[in-house]
Amino acid sequence: MQPLVIWRFCDGKAGHDHQSQGLLEALARLRQVESFTLNPPPVSQTLFGLMRGALAAWRGLPAPDLLIGAGHGAHLALLAARRCRGGKIIVLMRPTLPLSLFDLCLIPDHDSPPSRPNILPTRGALNHLQPSATLEPDRGLLLIGGPSAHFGWDNAGLHRQIAAIVAADPAMRWTLTTSRRTPPDFLDTPFDPRLTIIPVAETSPDWLPTQLAQAGQAWVTGDSVSMVYEALTVGAAVGILDVPHLRPNRVSRGLAQLTDQGWVTPFAHWRQKQTLHRPPQPFNEAERCARWIVEQWLA
């Protein structure tokens, strides 16, 4: 059987790259794959490729079976690549261009995608993590985000939640890390001495995946939705630290769905019984989408 040739377009944004990399790796676990990671050409070259059906930069590559990309910066390049060299387009997240232009759109269900043959709803954003067999029940992570377009911030409120969580079980070993969006003064307030604090500036790219693969519990601020889905994918028991909602939005809708379905536990619910539950079943959206592609297109 010939390898499946995949061109993956990356627009330079880490979150988009993790999503497309997760799908690529999941496909590679199911089929032999020959992959090429490409940067979208300048817009002028991309438009030329769309109009003329040829682009010199791609002539030396084998013709793709699949074209994968996430983010607005990859959309035109995906369309130009199909026009020039063929292949089916798989776009992750809801595109700004008409959905009918793409062969398959993997759209989070909190974005309320329409029911169409070329749309496969996903539970949140895909990622490149895998279910972990090394989770330690007495090891926990506290993952702190920051204010965003949809969420405000409350340092004092978060400190109270963290103090309650750490105090609830003296046997737990907790590690807290921040993100690039975390306000600089968040770490100025003293924390429980049993809590290990690793600021984001002191972490390497593989630090968080390594920690998630070991932590039996993960508490994530509600603004950091991608980390919620990563923690669910490894199989951790996931709690949501409350942060102020500026307005109802797709992120808060997604978290509400996860709560209603028993995947995550908001802090307010946890306070009643002080218990976090592991995911009710495996949560691996990249694997599920890859299997759909193989069964529907490549069988």
Same domain, 22 and 82: yes
Same domain, 115 and 45: yes
Same domain, 147 and 79: no
Compute how many other C-beta atoms are within 10 angstroms of the C-beta atom of residue 250: 15
Instruction: Tell me, yes or no, whether 23 lies in a domain.
Output: yes
Instruction: Tell me, yes or no, whether 20 lies in a domain.
Output: yes
Same domain, 191 and 241: yes
- Cα separation, 291 vs 209, in Å, equals 23
Same domain, 38 and 146: no
Instruction: Tell me, yes or no, whether 226 lies in a domain.
Output: yes
| Domain CATH number, residue 105 | 3.40.50.2000
Average pLDDT over residues 264-290: 94
C-alpha closest to that of 101 among 122, 77, 79: 79
Instruction: Tell me, yes or no, whether 233 lies in a domain.
Output: yes
Q: Which amino acid is at 23?
A: L
pLDDT of residue 58: 87
Q: How many domains does the chain have?
A: 2
Same domain, 245 and 291: no
What distance, in Å, lies between the first and last C-alpha atoms of the chain?
12
Same domain, 45 and 70: yes
- Cα separation, 199 vs 210, in Å, equals 16
For the segment 182-236, what is each residue's pLDDT rounded down to a tens digit?
A: 999 999 999 999 999 999 999 998 999 999 999 999 999 999 989 999 999 999 9
Same domain, 56 and 140: no
Same domain, 142 and 45: no
Instruction: Tell me, yes or no, whether 201 lies in a domain.
Output: yes
Same domain, 171 and 263: yes
Same domain, 162 and 102: no
Average pLDDT over residues 266-274: 94
- Cα separation, 183 vs 147, in Å, equals 8
pLDDT of residue 149: 86
Instruction: Tell me, yes or no, whether 49 lies in a domain.
Output: yes
Asked whether the predicted pLDDT for residue 144 surpasses 90, the reply is: yes
Instruction: Tell me, yes or no, whether 278 lies in a domain.
Output: no
Same domain, 91 and 195: no
For the segment 62-118, what is each residue's pLDDT rounded down to a tens digit?
A: 999 999 999 999 999 999 999 999 999 999 999 999 999 999 999 999 888 999 999
3-state secondary structure at position 240: strand
- Cα separation, 253 vs 6, in Å, equals 33
Instruction: Tell me, yes or no, whether 280 lies in a domain.
Output: no
Q: Residue 171's domain spans which residues? A: 136-273
pLDDT of residue 251: 81
